[in-house]
A and B are shown apart, each in its own frame.
Chain A
């Protein structure tokens, strides 16, 4: 789900489609600069800039290969930095919420107090969802809707505070492999 990255430029069609979407913005910027510095007609500058940018690539699409790769490189750098920033912001939220405590039982209990906690069997209707609450019908909604529904059924409303940032992290996926430590139990 690499949302920001462009797919491999393995055909002239892909290079062309990238360039056709990229150039209007670039042409507009050039036209603006030219009309500002040279006092020229903006529309004329825009048309000239657009033609100058588009025509060569129409004739030889491989000219767009370098800007295409540059885009993906830029996106990877942006993705890495923005992801890191987003994680820090999310962690800040956790710090704030964490002041209210967590359901992890860390406090030493009474010596005779059993640590066996009662639990129940999973309702057959709950097999069709990703959580334990029975569903009236099979849930085929998106992951965000699933998360929302689960948070309200399980009364973990505070998780909704993380939802915008989870969406942001998901959008910032640039397929870069994370470095996971090898000699620790994979808890996540």
Chain B
């Protein structure tokens, strides 16, 4: 009975079987071709190693492909003998950039990163995905002796740098961070907990935490006061390091893509669970104020970049974005130092002339 039923069923299902086989064959051939054409990809965890000072850093001498976290697209990674992107050395470079994944050139082939492009000015990027400003400051100290006469540019990404400065961990990695000293308003860098042991389980996709941090960066909450106070401490310390080293410091802020689109911004606000007054321009105003007090050049990336400079859904710069940053840094290096109180406004206007004319400066009310 079962056999007879099965035979009849097979006969009835024959068109489906044949169609499925055709689709299956087609998809299999394409997958095999992809396997041949796609580079062999390694996970990001395989490209990093423990570092006792800063928690982790990319391994030296990498020449491999990694997959971008959100899109899965492979990108080529090349690191030097110390594990930093590219092949140029700090000593031979005129500009040294400290930052996180944006400095590293995440999600884009190495040759397209701003620090690897052909330019009149050589740029060395020191950074890795996930770094906070405390780690970058420690690296600045580490390389202080080699910074004499150079322009030091510090990237601050509003997506996570500001609140990650206060965290003793980045996912399950232990990282240096800053903490308030007995509620005095002073801060200190803490790194004695940094070892190879994992931090405890941490959910990064928790929407409540995400809302709190978002409100902290763009609003005026308990977290806001702490993160900008900590940021001021870090920038002040960085300025001291550069002054002692005989280097010039400049700060460039990197906006999140939400800041570059009114529609996306409003949609994000609608997901907040608490009423808050959030301002997409607030971080730039605050950082500009800090830099102005310290006579540090500040450049608001939001005024220079737009959403077409980012890889869609990935959140990192694309080829065009890196080109603009490379141009910006080169122009920056060419400029003479002006009086600090005038420099921010004047420099921004002046640099705007150096940026390609199809720039669409978007600002969100």
Contacts and interface: CB of A to CB of B under 8 A. Distances in A.
The reply, when asked whether chain A contacts chain B directly with Cβ atoms under 8 A, is yes
Interface string B303-341: 000000000000000000000000000000000000000
A18 B71 CA distance: 18
B3 interface: yes
A171 interface: yes
B22 to A, nearest CB: 10
Nearest to A158: B2
Interface centre among B2, B31, B71 (most CB of A within 10 A): B2
B71 A161 contact: no
A127 interface: no
Nearest to A8: B72
B1 interface: yes
Nearest to A20: B33
A18 B30 contact: yes
Interface stretch (A36-44, A96-104, A142-150): A96-104
A176 interface: no
A10 B71 contact: yes
Interface residues on B, range: 20 to 34
B13 A165 contact: yes
B13 A14 contact: no
A16 B37 contact: yes
Given A20-B33, A93-B2, A14 B38 contact: yes
Q: How large is the interface on A (under 10, 10 to 19, 20 to 34, 35 or more residues)?
A: 35 or more
B9 interface: yes
A179 interface: no
B34 A7 contact: yes
Given A13-B37, A21-B29, A165 B73 contact: no
A129 B302 CA distance: 60
Interface in A65-91: 75, 78, 82, 85-86, 89-90
Contacts of B30: 6, 17-18, 21
B27 interface: yes
Nearest to B13: A89
A22 B22 CA distance: 12
B23 A10 contact: no
B10 interface: yes
B228 to A, nearest CB: 37
Contacts of B37: 13-14, 16-17
A93 B4 CA distance: 9
A164 B3 CA distance: 12
B360 interface: no
Interface string B54-86: 000000000000001001111000000000000
Contacts of A164: 6, 10, 17
Contact of B1 (A18, A20, A96): A96
B16 A82 contact: yes
Contacts of B26: 21-22
B184 interface: no
A78 B139 CA distance: 55
Given A5-B27, A17-B30, A17-B37, A82 B20 contact: yes
Given A4-B24, A8-B72, A17-B34, A161 B2 contact: yes
B12 A89 contact: yes
Given A82-B16, A96-B2, A165 B9 contact: yes
Contacts of A13: 34, 37-38
Interface in A118-174: 157-158, 160-162, 164-165, 168, 171-172
A79 to B, nearest CB: 8
Nearest to B9: A89
A79 B329 CA distance: 52
B357 interface: no
A182 interface: no
The 8 A-B residue pairs whose C-beta atoms are closest, nearest first, are A161-B6, A96-B5, A10-B73, A17-B33, A158-B2, A13-B37, A161-B2, A93-B5
Given A10-B71, A21-B26, 4 more contacts: A11-B73, A20-B33, A75-B27, A168-B13
